[in-house]
Structure 1
Amino acid sequence: MHQPIAVFDAGIGSYAIVAEIHKRLPQQDIVYFADRASFPYGSKGREELLAVMQRTLRFLEGYHPSAIVIASNAPSIMVLDDLRQNTLVPLFGVYPPIEEALATSNSGKVGIMGVQSLIESSLLKQFITHHAPQPGNVSLINASSMVELVENGAFLFDPEATQKAVSSFMDDVVSQYPDIDTLTLSSTHLPWLRSFFEAAQPGCRLLDPAESIVSNLGDGTQGTGQIQGLVTESEVYNVETFRRMLQQFGIDIPLEVVSVP
Structure 2
Amino acid sequence: MSKQPIGIFDSGVGGTSIWKEINMLLPNESTIYLADSANAPYGLKTKETIINLSIKNVEYLINQDCKIIVVACNTATTNAIYILRDKYKLPIIGIEPAIKPAALNTKTKAVGILATKGTLSSELFHKTTDLFARNIKVIERIGEGLVELIESGQLYSETMRNLLKQYLQPMIDANVDYLVLGCTHYPYLMPLLIELLPNNVKIIDSGEAVARQTKAVLQKYDLLNNSIAKGNCQFFTNGKTEVLASLLKDTLDVKYLNF
SS of equivalent to 1:28: coil
Residue 13 of structure 1 deviates from its aligned partner by 0.4
Write the distance in 2 (CA, Å) between the matches of 1:141 and 1:251: 33
Percent identity among equivalent residues? Answer: 23
Q: Secondary structure at the match of 2:145?
A: helix
Deviation string 1:146-185 (CA, Å, 9 cap, x unpaired) is 22232221115x3x4433432233224434xx13221111
Q: Tell me the residue number matched to 2:152.
A: 152
**2: CA distance, partners of 1:11 / 1:3:** 23
| Structure 2 residue aligned with 1:236 | none
- Please name the residue that 2:236 is paired with: 230
2:141 aligned with 1:141: yes
Report the Cα offset of residue 141 of structure 1: 1.5
CA distance in structure 2 between the partners assigned to 1:93 and 1:17 by the alignment: 11
Cα shift at 1:84? 0.5
User: For 1:139, what is the secondary structure of its paired residue?
Assistant: strand
Residue 255 of structure 1 is matched in structure 2 by 254
1:180 lines up with 2:179 in the alignment: no
SS of 2:214 mapped into structure 1? coil
Unaligned runs of 5+ in 1: 234-238
* Per-residue deviation, residues 71-122 of structure 1 (Å, max 9, x unmatched): 1111211220111111111100111111210123111111221101111223
Q: Is the 8 A contact 1:112 1:138 kept in 2?
A: yes
Is residue 112–residue 171 contact of structure 2 (8 Å, CA) maintained in 1?
no
Segments ≥4 residues shifted beyond 4 Å? none
Query: Which residue pairs with 1:20 in the alignment?
Result: 21
Seen in structure 2, the aligned counterparts of structure 1 residues 248 and 256 have a Cα distance that, compared at 3 Å, is: closer
Q: CA deviation at 1:202?
A: 2.9
Contact 2:7 2:70 in 1 (8 A): yes
Hey, what does 1:243 align to over in structure 2?
242
Work out the CA distance in 2 between the residues paired with 1:44 and 1:104. Answer: 33
User: What is the rounded CA distance, in whole Å, between the counterparts of 2:246 and 2:123 in structure 1?
Assistant: 39
Distance 2:191 2:258 in 1: 34
Change (3 A) 1:245 1:259: closer
**Alpha-carbon distance, 1:244 to partner:** 4.5
From 220, 225, 245, the counterpart of 1:221: 225
Q: How many residues align structurally?
A: 248
Q: Which amino acid aligns with 1:155?
A: L
CA distance in 2, matches of 1:50, 1:153: 27
The structural deviation recorded for 1:249 is: 5.1
- Using the size of structure 2 for normalisation, the TM-score is 0.88
For 2:84 and 2:243, how far apart are their aligned partners in 1?
33
**Do the aligned partners of residues 125 and 247 (structure 1) sit closer, same or farther apart at CA in structure 2, a change above 3 Å counting?**
closer
Counterparts of 1:1-261 in structure 2, within 5 Å, are 2-134=3-135, 137-156=137-156, 158=157, 160-175=158-173, 178-203=174-199, 204-218=201-215, 219=219, 220-222=224-226, 224-233=230-239, 239=240, 242-244=241-243, 246-247=245-246, 250-260=249-259
Q: Distance in 1 between matches of 2:226 and 2:16?
A: 21
Q: Any gaps of 5 or more consecutive residues in structure 2?
A: none
